[in-house]
Amino acid sequence: MATEEAELWEQIQFILVDGVGRDLEGQELVDFVNDEFEKNNLKAIMGIREDGYEVTYGIYSRKLALLKNDISVQTVYAAVEGQDSDWEYIVLENGTLKLTGYKHDKVGNIQIPNVIKGVLVTEIGNIFSSSSIESVSIPEGIEIIDNEAFSTCLMLSCEIKFPSSLKQIGDFAFYDCKEMRGNLNEIVKQNIRMGKNVFGRCSKLTGDIQVLIDTLDLGTNIIEEGQFSGFSGVTGRLIIPARISEIRDNAFYGCSKIESIEFENDSQLKSIGSAAFSQCKSANNLLEIPEKVKTIAANAFEHCEKLSGLTLNNNLKSIGRRAFSECYELSGTLNIPNTINQIEEYTFYETNLENVNFLYDNTVNSLYVGSSAFSSCKNLKNLKFMCSTDIGMAAFWSCDSLLSVNGDNFINSIRNKWFCIMR
């Protein structure tokens, strides 16, 4: 078997050399070679491509040889031949093919071809989005996977592997493929250019979160909405680069196994979006909000259950409702800067804080602590107010350990009798 294949390749090379010796090139060389293949009953076909030629050949297993313009071999890999009866495609400017449709039910196991009628396939279009395929095999030769090509394939449960030829994966290409398996560290090593949210909500992918962060373009200063959301299989320390100025909604939502949330020194970060780090349940560090952050949106760190402490900066202007709700192990002393004059509803609900100092000291406008803002903080012992304060409904309800309110003469109104339950 191997001997026959080797002999076939020798005959192919002889014909190629003969064609070049006749000073043929381009389409003339291809036509001559294919005529010779047919005359000699060789199982081979030659095609032309942008930077050379390709030859598909083989007796028992098909191979695809990519040749340079001088017909020297660039690479050889297994040919996966597709049929017109299976695939829709268009011819790209470089002469290769882009798959644009699949003519059968989009279920079960899919084998992507890398050659159709002797022409190289290099691109996969948006063909299988929201389909019921269970596995996909992407062969060598494929260079581009388009936006949303396999997004929301909820039954796709194979281990995803990419060919060494792959150069680019478009936005949301595998988004919400919840059952798909693979290792992000290995994928990133291939230096594939990736679009936005390529693997968002692919919860069974494993790897190191920092490997994902390192895929951000060095010119990027924004982490987009949902860009790294749903990576519940990734681990390690999350360290946000100093150049990032904005983290948008749901950016890291559901990264439930990362070990910390940190920011590089000299951080340029100014805003943290809604639910940006929500459900990062294993992050267990002291969270230090960078100095330039002015807004922390609603639910930003909700259910970060193991955060051990919190340091707010002195430039912070607003903290959204439920921003730190149900951070059960958030403990110690919290100093709320004098730039904050309103604590929204449920902002620190069910945390483990022991002391809270409200540093707002405006003599004209009151501080407002919203409904249930600190309710069920069972370990809260001491409160300190610096100015006139309005207390919303159940703001400190079920704070069973509360011992002292320093500055109680500043409290203007308590809007519900359940300010606290004292033992």
- Supply the pTM of this predicted model: 0.76
Contacts with 308 (C-beta within 8 Å, 6 or more apart), sequence order:
284, 285, 286, 329, 330, 331, 332
CA distance 34 to 79: 18
pLDDT value of residue 422: 37
10, pLDDT greater than 50: yes
pLDDT digits (tens, 9 = 90+) for 256-286: 999 999 999 999 999 999 999 999 999 999 9
CA distance 106 to 102: 7
**Highest-confidence segment of 62-66, 74-78, 314-318, 364-368:** 314-318
Please, are residues 390 and 369 in contact by the beta-carbon 8 Å criterion? yes
Q: How confident is the model at residue 419 (pLDDT cuts 50, 70, 90)?
A: low
Q: What is the mean pLDDT of residues 46-73?
A: 87
pLDDT value of residue 412: 62
Q: What is residue 21's three-state secondary structure? A: helix
> In this predicted structure, which of 332-336, 337-341, 387-391 has the lowest mean pLDDT?
387-391
Locate 257 and state its tokens.
Answer: 């196994």
423, pLDDT greater than 50: no
CA distance 55 to 143: 18
* Architecture of the domain whose range is 81-202: Alpha-Beta Horseshoe (3.80)
pLDDT digits (tens, 9 = 90+) for 203-228: 889 999 998 898 787 888 999 888 88
pLDDT value of residue 77: 87
Locate 15 and state its tokens.
Answer: 């014909």
pLDDT value of residue 421: 43
Burial 250-261 (b: 16+ CB within 10 A, else e): bbbbbbbbbbbb
129, pLDDT greater than 50: yes
- φ/ψ bin of 314: left (φ > 0), alpha (ψ from -120 to 50), beta (otherwise): alpha
pLDDT value of residue 1: 57
Q: Pairing mode, if any, of strands 237-240 and 352-358?
A: unpaired
Q: How confident is the model at residue 358 (pLDDT cuts 50, 70, 90)?
A: very high
> In this predicted structure, which of 132-141, 279-288, 412-421 has the lowest mean pLDDT?
412-421
pLDDT value of residue 291: 97
